[in-house]
Structures are given as C-alpha cells and as structure tokens.
C-alpha cells in the first residue's frame, strides 16, 4: 500500500485565493483526520470523519475552512479566502476501525504558504 | 482527555540508551498510552502503545508503572537517525479518536 497520499506537497498562494488540499486515505481505513501544524501551536486536529461522515469539526478555525469526504477514497480541505496566518503544514491521517486510540497513519503533509 | 507533560528536549550520543518520561497524572481507567515519532518534514509515525506494565517491539520499549501516572519510552542504542520529536499521548478506550498532540520532546542524537 502506498500509504496516505496528499497533494499538493507544497502550495504557495496569495491572500484571498481559494486553496484546496487533497487526501487519499489508506484503502479500508474507516477514519480520516485533518491536522494542522505550526511552530506556535504545534499539531492541531481540525476535523475527522468516520465512514465519510464528519464526526468532530470543533478544531476547524473558522468558516473559511471546510472539509468534505465524498467517498471512502478521497477528502479535501478548502480554505476560502486564504490568509497569511493559514500558513502551516497540513497533514491528513487515516486509521482502521477497531480499538479506540488506534494507530493513525499520517501522510507526508502539504506545506501551505499564503503570501 | 488527560494532559501530558514531557521534557522539551533531550540530547544523547550514538549507541546510548535514551529514556523519555511522560507524566499523565490525570490518566483515566480506560486510557491507553501511545507514543509517536516525527522526523523533520514528515508526518508523525506511531511507535508503541500500552496500557500497563511493559510493552516491547522492534523499535522501542514502553514502561508503565502500576499507578499509570507516568510512562517511559526507551530507545535502545540510538543512532543519528533517531533524531526526531517524540510525542506522548493518552487516548481513551471509548469511541473517541481525538488524539491531542502536546509539544513533544525534541531528541538530538550526536555522533
């Protein structure tokens, strides 16, 4: 298995533009997570899905952020409009159903820079 | 979710054993203890998980005392490639999958 796949790996955009980050979880995994990592705030959970349904989006910073999971093989995280403070590394992770606190498999991340 | 406290950084030399201790005084009965490793420019990677006593795998050992208020990740004979950030997490056994990552311990292994 190729692991969790994220695209693009790097994104540079200007303030006000829409940004779309993409994730393909490991096949067969029921849970998908979106995290954001910055030096100041560390690694934060933004939202997670179970069987394509959003379960907890309390970490989503504001209405400019949205995430969807239209099917078991794909999720995207959109920021519209983007702001410089959104600059961070965004990670997607997936995990199989089973024992809670189960191992999460992280993707390589997307480094977003908003100018 | 139980809060965890671990050292901000540690230094070691190649070939030494490294022990990183994490404090989780408010751990609940149904909580597991999990450790992740993160290399620069990569996502975190699961290392080991345990509930009590000792767990060992090919990468590390995890020691958990009877009161479970702390845990120690032990890395035997570290190499330069073990330089990374190590996160201690406490995750409940119920249906919540919400992992809270703290600041982690930045381990630097010197030649």
List pLDDT tens digits, range A17-58: 999 999 999 999 989 999 999 998 899 999 999 999 999 999
- Is there a contact between B97 and A109 if contact means CB atoms under 8 Å apart? no
Picking from B98, B101, B104, the nearest residue to A56 by CB comes out as B98
Percent of chain B surpassing pLDDT 90:
72
Q: Which residues of A touch B4 (CB under 8 A)?
A: none
Which pLDDT score, from 0 to 100, does residue B9 have? 97
Region B13-32: what's the mean pLDDT? 93
What is the rounded average pLDDT for all residues in chain A?
93
Which pLDDT score, from 0 to 100, does residue A1 have? 65
Tens digits of residue pLDDT in B94-109: 545 677 888 899 999 9
Q: Six-digit token pair at A14?
A: 């200007």
Q: If you count DSSP H runs as helices and E runs as strands, how many of each does chain A have, helices first? A: 0, 11
Checking if the pLDDT of B93 tops 70, the result is no
Checking if the pLDDT of A97 tops 90, the result is no
User: A13 Cβ partners below 8 Å, 6+ apart?
Assistant: A19, A82, A112, A113, A114, A115
E strands, B1-111, are 9-13, 18-23, 31-38, 45-50, 53-56, 61-64, 70-75, 84-92, 105-110
> What phi, psi does A114 have (nearest 5°)?
-110, 120
Q: Find the residue in B nearest to A38 (Cα).
A: B103
Which pLDDT score, from 0 to 100, does residue A99 have? 56
Tens digits of residue pLDDT in A48-85: 999 999 999 999 988 999 999 999 999 999 999 999 99
Q: Is B50 on the interface with A (CB under 8 A)?
A: no
Q: Find the residue in A nearest to B93 (Cα).
A: A100
Which pLDDT score, from 0 to 100, does residue B30 have? 84
């Amino acid at each position: 298995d190729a692991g969790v796949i994220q695209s693009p790996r790097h994104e540079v955009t200007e303030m006000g533009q829409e940004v779309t980050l993409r994730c393909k979880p490991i096949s067969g995994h029921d849970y998908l997570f979106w995290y954001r990592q910055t030096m100041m705030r560390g690694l934060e959970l933004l939202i997670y899905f179970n069987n394509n349904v959003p379960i907890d989006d309390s970490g989503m910073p504001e209405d400019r952020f949205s995430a969807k999971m239209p099917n078991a093989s794909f999720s995207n995280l959109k920021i519209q409009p983007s702001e410089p403070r959104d600059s961070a590394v965004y990670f997607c992770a997936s995990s199989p159903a089973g024992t809670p606190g189960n191992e999460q498999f992280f993707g390589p991340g997307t480094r977003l820079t908003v100018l | 979710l139980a809060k965890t406290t671990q050292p901000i950084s540690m230094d070691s030399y190649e070939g030494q054993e490294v022990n990183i201790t994490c404090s989780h005084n408010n751990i609940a009965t149904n909580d597991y203890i999990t450790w992740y490793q993160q290399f620069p420019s990569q996502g975190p990677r699961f290392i080991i998980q345990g509930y009590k006593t000792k767990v060992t795998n090919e990468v590390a050992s995890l020691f958990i005392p009877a009161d479970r208020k702390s845990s120690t990740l032990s890395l035997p004979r570290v190499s330069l490639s073990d330089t990374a950030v190590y996160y201690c997490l406490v995750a409940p056994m119920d249906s919540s999958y919400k992992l809270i990552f703290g600041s982690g311990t930045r381990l630097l292994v010197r030649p």
